[in-house]
């Protein structure tokens, strides 16, 4: 049913004059351009300004005191007279629903005009344009009062005793840490933090497999590797066949996975890949909704990983990831299932040309070059307080300097071929406990992660 927007302007102003809760609910969304009658826009502005100042609604006489000419005063008199034609006994839910529709339609219309003007001037910034339209479409006037503890105690107690309210991670030790498992009905975002190259993707893939084994449907969003590579990792977990043996065990892999499916016919794991930093949480929400509309249920969503989602909000990496996490958590409300992801614990060194040094800031070489705002290339060891350097988040000001002397570092080579550069004091979780090179890390020691152990060989090459 279409809303008569011009007529609804009167309802909006009338309700704002008599209902402070209504005014506060809509105040942040209403803009003067939304009113066809600019006099009505002026009246609303007076009401809103008065309320902000006094925390109470103005009387009709007080509104008139702010009207500066006869045209405004006569218009206000006619507007108040027209209120008699409006139904005074409005259904609250219907009122808020219609107001939300009014604000969304007006916001989208004016966003369209603004974007058209910017495009005509050659200012085409598609991520910003998308964000503007998303903001217009996400106006939400919530009227639900929430849960009252005393009258709702039965609901609270039943939820505590309901063991089916959780989905197991597959690991009892982890379930204990997160209070029985992942919340089945969503409204929760679970993020596991780890250093670079510690095995976050393997960990998330194993969680997806563990949840699927419970007869669940899991949607894995891969932002770092292809669907086939991710699928091979999960198949390795399901069949216990190491990936390095896949070439000679393809038929065994095929047979084992089919047998697992016979045993668990309701289990499904979907993997969808997107290039890193190309899809926003809102775009991902749209994809998942289309996925569900195709007839598939979703019991859990695994995102590998939140840092690789794109955000048009935030001036630095912290603000962007914070916004992304807020939006992803909101998705768990929309789809009513838990969302599990990971984040990188340490930031990578900017503009590094040394593979394997990501996240190990204590080993950044003092001779490594970095670009100043002036365009000059300077050694990190020569940076001074107050200089501005180029980073992945634009130019940043140096607020302190340290580690000006060259530190002794060692290159650790794993059996897999992966190399990691660390200081002699860097602690590794191993099969002999947490030890460093100083503690006697040896060739043959195994470096442990949450999900796997890999044999390590050691070289003592100083970098």
Claim to verify: residue 181 and residue 98 sit in the same structural domain: no
CATH number at residue 215: 3.40.50.300
pLDDT tens-digit series, residues 140-155: 776 666 777 888 888 8
- Considering the domain architecture, whether residues 167 and 82 belong to the same structural domain is answered as no
User: Is residue 371 situated within a structural domain?
Assistant: no
DSSP readout, 326-351? HHHHHHHHHHTS-EEEEEESSPPPTT
pLDDT at 355 > cutoff 60? no
Q: Please check whether residues 157 and 284 belong to one and the same domain.
A: yes
Q: Write out the H or E segment, with its range, that includes residue 446.
A: strand 446-448
Structural domain that includes position 436 = 409-462
pLDDT at 293 over 50: yes
Report the pLDDT averaged over residues 393-420.
71
Task: State how far the Cα of 189 lies from the Cα of 194, in Å rounded to an integer.
Answer: 16
Q: Using the predicted structure, report yes or no on whether residue 255 has a pLDDT greater than 90.
A: yes
CA angle 192, 198, 203 (to 5 degrees): 50
pLDDT value of residue 163: 64
Domain of residue 96, CATH code: 1.10.860.10
Judgement on whether residues 101 and 68 belong to the same structural domain of the protein? yes
> Which pLDDT value is given to residue 167?
93
pLDDT digits (tens, 9 = 90+) for 9-55: 889 999 999 988 889 888 888 988 899 888 889 999 999 999 888 88
Task: Let me know whether 107 and 81 are in one domain.
Answer: yes
Q: Judge whether residue 441 has pLDDT over 70.
A: yes
Confidence of residue 448 (pLDDT cuts 50, 70, 90): low
- Please state the rounded mean pLDDT for residues 410-434: 76
Asked, for residue 130, whether it belongs to a domain, the answer is yes
- Among 111, 137, 163, where does a domain finish? 137
- Specify if 351 maps to a domain: no
Query: 0.85 exceeded by the pTM?
Result: no
Residue 363 in any domain: the answer is: no
Judge whether 144 lies within some domain.
no
| Predicted local distance difference test score (pLDDT) of residue 271 | 95
Which tens digits make up the pLDDT trace of 379-399?
777 778 788 887 655 677 887
Query: Do 173 and 220 fall into the same domain?
Result: yes
Q: Which of 300, 318, 344 is the last residue of a domain?
A: 344
Q: Compare 134 and 253 and report the one with higher pLDDT.
A: 253
205 shares a domain with 66: no
CA 29, 32, 33, 39 torsion: positive or negative? positive
Whether residue 217 is predicted with pLDDT greater than 80 in this model: the reply is yes
Whether residue 415 is found in the same domain as residue 447: yes
**Residue range 149-196, pLDDT digits in tens:** 888 888 888 877 776 788 999 999 899 888 889 999 888 999 998 777
Question: How many domains is the chain built from?
Answer: 3
> Mean pLDDT across the stretch 225-233?
90
Do 316 and 174 belong to one domain?
Answer: yes
pLDDT class of 345 with cuts at 50, 70, 90: low
- Identify which has the larger pLDDT, 409 or 358: 409
- Regarding whether 122 and 86 lie in a shared domain, the answer is yes
């Amino acid at each position: 049913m279409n809303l008569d927007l011009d007529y609804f302007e009167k309802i909006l102003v009338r309700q704002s004059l008599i209902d402070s809760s209504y005014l506060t609910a809509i105040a942040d969304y209403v803009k003067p351009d939304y009113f066809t009658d600019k006099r009505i826009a002026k009246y609303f502005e007076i009401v809103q300004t008065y309320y902000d100042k006094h925390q109470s609604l103005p009387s009709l006489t007080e509104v008139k005191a702010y009207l500066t000419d006869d045209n405004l005063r006569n218009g206000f008199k006619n507007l108040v007279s027209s209120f008699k034609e409006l139904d005074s006994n409005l259904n609250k839910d219907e009122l808020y629903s219609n107001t939300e529709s009014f604000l969304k339609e007006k916001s989208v219309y004016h966003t369209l005009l603004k974007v058209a003007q910017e495009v005509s001037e050659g200012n085409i910034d598609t991520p910003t344009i998308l964000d503007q339209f998303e903001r217009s479409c996400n106006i939400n006037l919530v009227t639900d009062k929430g849960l009252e503890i005393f009258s709702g105690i039965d609901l609270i107690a039943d939820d505590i005793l309901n063991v089916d309210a959780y989905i197991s991670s597959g690991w009892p030790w982890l379930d204990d840490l997160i209070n029985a498992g992942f919340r089945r009905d969503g409204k929760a975002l679970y993020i596991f933090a780890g250093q670079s190259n510690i095995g976050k993707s393997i960990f998330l893939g194993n969680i997806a497999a563990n949840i699927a084994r419970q007869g669940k449907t899991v949607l894995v969003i891969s932002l770092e590797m292809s669907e086939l590579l991710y699928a091979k990792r999960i198949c390795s977990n399901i069949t216990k066949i190491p990936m390095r043996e896949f070439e000679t065990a393809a038929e065994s892999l095929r047979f084992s996975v089919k047998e697992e499916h016979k045993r668990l016919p309701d289990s499904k794991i979907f993997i969808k890949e997107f290039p890193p930093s190309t899809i926003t949480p809102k775009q991902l929400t749209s994809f998942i909704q289309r996925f569900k509309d195709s007839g598939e249920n979703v019991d859990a969503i695994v995102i590998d990983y939140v840092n690789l989602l794109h955000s048009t909000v935030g001036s630095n990496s912290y603000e962007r990831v914070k916004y992304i996490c807020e939006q992803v958590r909101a998705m768990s409300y929309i789809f009513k299932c838990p969302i599990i992801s990971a984040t990188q614990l340490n930031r990578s060194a900017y503009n590094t040309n040394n593979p394997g040094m990501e996240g190990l800031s204590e080993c950044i070489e003092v001779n490594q070059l970095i670009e100043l705002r002036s365009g000059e290339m300077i050694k990190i060891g020569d940076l001074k307080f107050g200089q501005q350097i180029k980073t992945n988040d634009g130019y940043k000001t140096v607020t302190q300097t340290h580690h000006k002397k060259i530190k002794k570092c060692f290159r650790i080579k794993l059996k897999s071929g992966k190399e990691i550069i660390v200081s002699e004091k860097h602690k590794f979780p191993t099969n002999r406990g947490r030890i460093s090179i100083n503690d006697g890390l040896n060739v043959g020691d195994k470096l442990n992660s949450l999900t796997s152990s890999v044999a390590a060989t050691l070289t003592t090459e100083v970098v």
